[in-house]
Homo-oligomer: A and B are copies of this chain.
Amino acid sequence: GFAKIDHHRTLRSGLPEVIYAAGKTPEQTAAIFQRIAASGVNVLATKADAAHFAAVQTLVPGAEYHALAQCITLRQAQQPRHEGTIAVVCAGTSDLPVAEEAAITADLFGGNVLRITDVGVAGIHRLLAQRPLLQTADVVIACAGMEGALPSVLGGMVGVPVIAVPTSVGYGVAFHGITALLSMLNSCSPNTTVVNIDNGFGAAYTATLICRGQQKK
């Protein structure tokens, strides 16, 4: 067939392969979705539009669509939950789609998700007000576009890893997220690591592994 599913991944990490729908036809996406679903695990497709979902739903009626986050999910497995708390923080209203992709992923893979919205650094009191909540998190995912300053400030407010997700929000020299990305890679807060622009999924995947590691011990 046209796709070779990496079932081995579930063995390695306890987390299944996830479908990146953007470059695939609805038919390809649906076929892969069905094959992964057949193995009994929870299934996730990201960057999926309405046409992808329509095709998936035909083959896998139990699948759900999250329009804002452009995700398709199937909950079926007794996916073991872990005790970790993952805070998903975003700088502005426009960063919500990326933050939701992260939150849905983190939740589907068994974590407790804490959503904190519209706490951009240009009105710093709004962020400072969230400090008590933030300090309950085991990992923080920080989504921001434009100047991407949120992770630097957040990084200095918590003692846990911060995973920074640049978003493609902004105009002009926001460069569809490149400025936010570069800013985050230069963060003065050394507890910051970074993923690709708009990659809420990847951030949540790593956050889940961090929490599961804690669990194991």
- Footprint of B on A, CB under 8 Å? 2-4, 6, 8-9, 12-14, 18, 20, 22-24, 28, 32, 47, 83, 91-94, 96, 117-126, 128, 138-139, 145-149, 152-153, 155-161, 163, 166, 168-175, 177-199, 201-203, 205-206, 209-210, 213-217
Contacts and interface: CB of A to CB of B under 8 A. Distances in A.
A125 B172 CA distance: 31
Given A195-B193, A209-B160, A122 B186 contact: no
Contact of A183 (B8, B147, B158): B147
A190 B18 contact: yes
Given A94-B24, A126-B4, A152-B122, A146 B186 contact: yes
A186 B197 contact: no
Contacts of A209: 159-161, 191
A198 B198 CA distance: 24
Contact of A23 (B94, B138, B180, B191): B94
Contacts of A174: 186, 196
Contacts of A205: 190-191
A168 to B, nearest CB: 7
Given A149-B153, A191-B205, 15 more contacts: A2-B118, A4-B117, A120-B188, A121-B149, A122-B156, A124-B157, A149-B149, A168-B172, A172-B199, A182-B183, A185-B194, A185-B196, A192-B202, A193-B193, A193-B195
15 contacts: A4-B118, A6-B156, A9-B156, A14-B159, A22-B171, A23-B145, A24-B94, A121-B149, A122-B152, A122-B187, A139-B213, A174-B196, A182-B183, A191-B206, A192-B202
